[in-house]
């Protein structure tokens, strides 16, 4: 008699990347469209009754989530390999489901265009963030300046435009801090407002300029984007457009750092140097050679020297590349100082780098990084999107194998990162078991 034992169900194991370090990279890495820009440009479809076609859209989980949110408002969403078409002709809802908004903070941008188009919007407050708080008070204060009545009750922001026609009116808005999200929300709200809106202390980021360019392509009147003062003259209606998203400056920076940490030569394209000025300056200060060719950039790295950096709003050093750059500095000659000024919890990757042999001492929001001759492969956890990228970069340079978990974060901002890196000589595989 044969007794067959019951097979216990296997525990679900989160996928991870297994990285065999020590390989030089060579060739060319292609940069996808900018996630942080694409998400906002998608929200702009709410401003028009005509279709908006966006090209150079990266295949990311955050993009898919934004498509679901827009679909919940009644937008018709059609997706291709690198494009998306959004038809907001028949909006059916002015309220976003909590479970969708909670999964994607960028969905809060929808409150501006919804209010401008429909005169009413109800958006749950975004959930918490691993890297720190991102308050929406600037959005709310700005919308009130444009004539909206805004209340926050039980975690839901409700906004309505009183009066006949339910149309926002122009106004002067001074942002207490140059918030990218608030600047973008208010630009979209003002695009259909009655009269002129001036946003003072506006964010200078390239993504703000990209939104302004899209609004202009849709028939909007915007000037001053990329400066601290943006002026928007509202129009009666906006039409559709066919528009290409800018290259992702953070992905481009990550690829340049991949070359630097492996002491390799790589071409990264497409890339807009003006979008990465502070990062390129720091790479050159660290000893890298950079050569722009009009479309992309070739980086050559050999010996890396220590340096000091402090994150700042654009055009300063971007907080999104602080963690990846720290991985490079962990292999530099000398001691570097890294100061994080944007998010209060954006140094969680330090403990993971230490597991790989990095010599880092913490003092508040400052990390002192003493370069070591070699990092060692180890099991590490990416605690947020950019920390996950930092772990991948560290793994490329480490002795042995590095196992990186936290891919749910990585996949939100990098499309097939392991495939792209493998194409230039890295040895990475995604393990699901």
Among the CATH numbers 3.40.50.1220, 3.65.10.10, 3.40.630.30, 3.80.30.20, which is that of 35-244?
A: 3.65.10.10
Evaluate whether the domain defined by 16-32+247-431 bears CATH number 3.50.50.60: no
- Predicted confidence at residue 162, as pLDDT, reads 94
Give the separation between CA 113 and CA 120, rounded to whole angstroms: 10
Measured CA distances, 340 to 105, 242, 330, 345 (Å): 21, 38, 16, 9
pLDDT, block means (10 residues), the chain with 433 residues: 39 81 98 96 98 96 92 95 96 84 81 96 72 71 97 90 92 95 97 98 98 98 98 98 98 98 98 98 98 97 97 95 97 97 84 97 96 97 93 98 94 94 98 86
The pTM for the full model equals 0.92
Report the catalytic residues. Answer: 129
Domain with CATH 3.65.10.10 in the chain: 16-32+247-431, 35-244
CA atoms within 13 A on the CB side of 199: 38
- Predicted confidence at residue 131, as pLDDT, reads 40
Give the separation between CA 172 and CA 219, rounded to whole angstroms: 22
Query: Residue 363 belongs to what H/E stretch?
Result: strand 359-363
């Amino acid at each position: 008699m044969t007794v067959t034992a019951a097979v216990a169900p296997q525990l679900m194991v989160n996928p991870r990347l297994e990285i065999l370090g020590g390989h030089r990279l060579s060739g060319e890495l292609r940069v996808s469209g900018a996630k942080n820009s694409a998400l906002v440009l998608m929200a702009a479809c709410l401003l028009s009754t005509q279709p908006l076609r966006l090209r150079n859209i990266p295949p990311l989980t955050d993009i898919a989530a934004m498509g679901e949110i827009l679909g919940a408002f009644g937008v018709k969403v059609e997706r291709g390999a690198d494009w998306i078409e959004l038809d907001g002709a028949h909006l059916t809802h002015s309220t976003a489901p909590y479970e969708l908004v909670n999964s994607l903070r960028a969905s809060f941008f929808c409150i501006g265009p919804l209010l401008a188009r429909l005169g009413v919007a109800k958006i749950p407050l975004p959930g918490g963030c691993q890297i720190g708080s991102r308050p929406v008070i600037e959005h709310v204060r700005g919308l009130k300046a444009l004539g909206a009545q805004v209340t926050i009750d039980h975690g839901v922001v409700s906004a309505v435009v009183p009066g006949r026609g339910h149309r926002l009116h122009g106004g002067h808005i001074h942002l207490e801090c140059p918030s990218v999200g608030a600047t973008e929300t208010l630009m979209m709200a003002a695009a259909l407002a009655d009269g002129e809106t001036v946003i003072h202390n506006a964010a200078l980021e390239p993504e703000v300029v990209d939104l302004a360019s899209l609004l202009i392509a849709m028939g909007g009147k915007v000037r001053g984007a990329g400066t601290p003062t943006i002026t928007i003259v509202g129009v009666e209606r906006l039409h559709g457009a066919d528009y290409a998203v800018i290259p992702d400056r953070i992905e481009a920076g990550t690829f340049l750092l991949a070359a630097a940490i492996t002491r390799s030569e790589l071409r990264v394209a497409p890339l807009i140097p003006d979008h990465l000025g502070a990062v390129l300056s720091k790479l050159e200060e660290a000893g890298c050679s950079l050569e722009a060719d009009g479309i992309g950039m070739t980086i050559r790295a050999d010996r890396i020297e220590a340096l000091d950096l402090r994150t700042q709003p654009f055009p300063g050093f971007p907080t999104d590349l602080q963690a990846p750059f720290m991985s490079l500095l962990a292999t530099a000659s000398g001691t570097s100082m890294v100061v994080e000024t944007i998010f209060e919890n954006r140094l969680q990757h330090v403990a993971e780098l230490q597991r790989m042999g990095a010599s880092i001492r913490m003092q508040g929001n400052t990390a002192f990084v003493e370069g070591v001759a070699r990092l060692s492969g180890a099991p590490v956890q990416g605690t947020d999107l950019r920390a996950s990228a930092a772990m991948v970069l560290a793994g490329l340079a480490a002795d042995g194998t590095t196992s990186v978990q936290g891919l749910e974060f990585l996949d939100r901002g990098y499309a097939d990162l392991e495939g792209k890196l493998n194409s230039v000589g890295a040895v990475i595989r995604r393990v699901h078991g």
